[in-house]
Amino acid sequence: MGKDITGSGDDPDHDAALHLVVQNSIMTDDVSPSEDVLIRRFETADAGDTWRVFHAAVHGTASRDYTPEQIQAWAPPTVDEAAWQRRRSASHTYLACLGGAVVGFSDFTDEGLLDMLFVHPDAGGRGVARALVTHVLHEAAAAGHHRLHVHASLTARPAFERFGFTVDVTRLAEIRGQKLRNFDMSIDLKQIDSGELGLA
């Protein structure tokens, strides 16, 4: 896990049962930019929506910072939906919804890792990640964590810095034979109670 990039989806049985295919026609066209973001817990029925958000975010947003080969390795065109669902259920996973559509998700593990933060490009720049991370940080603190870690992509580093994370180490993560630059970042959750973070 240590050299992984956040949300690599890397999994030993990834290629074993490929049956969830790409459908990037997410339904956000009718979403007003001013609409409130609803945060709710992940349910098993959300596996397909979260994977499509992950795929669209990597190919649509992170592709400005990584080569096509790196993007393909990070988010291949298909995934084992059952394995994906198990991994989301194994973490404390939260969804962001706009206009009834799943537009983003994030999580934290029992080990204190924020493993996933993905927002559909159609819903980017509207505070969806901020709403998700604010929720995750409060939930992690309530669960007794003192510090939360993330393996942040080049794309996500500025957002994590805005949320108060700092870079601990710069590294190269290896995903399916490709090396991707990322950053081990962390945040002291005690800052939440003291009001030092710019979080709601």
Ligand X SMILES: CC(C)(COP(=O)(O)OP(=O)(O)OC[C@H]1O[C@@H](n2cnc3c(N)ncnc32)[C@H](O)[C@@H]1OP(=O)(O)O)[C@@H](O)C(=O)NCCC(=O)NCCS
- Secondary structure (DSSP) of 154-181: TTTHHHHHHHT-EEEEEEEEEETTEEEE
What are the C-alpha distances in Å from 124 to residues 33, 56, 166, 174?
Answer: 10, 11, 22, 27
- Whole-angstrom distance, CA of residue 199 vs CA of residue 196: 8
Residue 31, helix vs strand vs coil: coil
Is the CB of 141 or the CB of 185 nearer to ligand X?
Answer: 185
What is the nearest approach in angstroms of ligand X to the Cβ of residue 75? 9
Q: Which amino acid is at 49?
A: D
Length of the chain: 200
What is the nearest approach in angstroms of ligand X to the Cβ of residue 61? 4
Is the CB of 62 or the CB of 83 nearer to ligand X?
Answer: 62
Answer for the pair 140, 189: CB distance below 8 angstroms, yes or no.
yes
Site residues, ligand X (CB under 6 A): 6-7, 57-58, 61-62, 117-119, 124-130, 152-153, 155-156, 158-159, 162
Is the CB of 120 or the CB of 145 nearer to ligand X?
Answer: 120
Is the CB of 16 or the CB of 23 nearer to ligand X?
Answer: 23
Answer for the pair 174, 10: CB distance below 8 angstroms, yes or no.
no
* Residue 195 CB contacts under 8 Å (≥ 6 apart), including other chains: none
What is the nearest approach in angstroms of ligand X to the Cβ of residue 35? 13
What is the nearest approach in angstroms of ligand X to the Cβ of residue 182? 7
Is the CB of 20 or the CB of 131 nearer to ligand X?
Answer: 131
What is the nearest approach in angstroms of ligand X to the Cβ of residue 128? 4
Is the CB of 144 or the CB of 158 nearer to ligand X?
Answer: 158
- Whole-angstrom distance, CA of residue 103 vs CA of residue 54: 10
**167: how many CB neighbours lie within 10 A of its CB?**
13
What is the nearest approach in angstroms of ligand X to the Cβ of residue 160? 8
